Structure 1
Amino acid sequence: MEFHVENMTCGGCARGVTRAIQSVDADAQVLTDPPKRSVKVETTATQQQVIKALTEAGFPPR
């Protein structure tokens, strides 16, 4: 799955996004691109779980 995270602007934000996703699936593969504000995720978690975790962490995806 792929998301656009408008307020992911730096490496620190990218780490926060990764931590949020891995809080619902510790084995998730997360590829972040802060300049493009994109996140690609390979996970066994549902899309809703990932969206909820990101939103709660302050990085609401589109």
Structure 2
Amino acid sequence: MARRVTETGRLLRRGTAFVLVRDDGGTWQLDAPRYAEALLGRRIRITASRIGFDRLSVEEMTPC
């Protein structure tokens, strides 16, 4: 079973991928829903499941 995490940070795009630059440092690559495009550049909070070393599958994404 994938581990659930809650993180906050700034949503950015690197190439074709979405990334979360964490408030505490570091980054996550995100499998994010389509509405993520509207939140680019904003500070967000996500609830997600860890699906790889540095990859999260986003379940919920909201602006902070």
Same fold (TM over 0.5): no
TM category (shorter chain) comes to under 0.3
- What is the TM-score with the length of structure 1 in the denominator? 0.27
Larger relative contact order (Cα-Cα within 8 Å, sequence gap ≥ 6): 1
Which structure is higher in helix share? 1
Q: More strand by proportion, 1 or 2?
A: 2
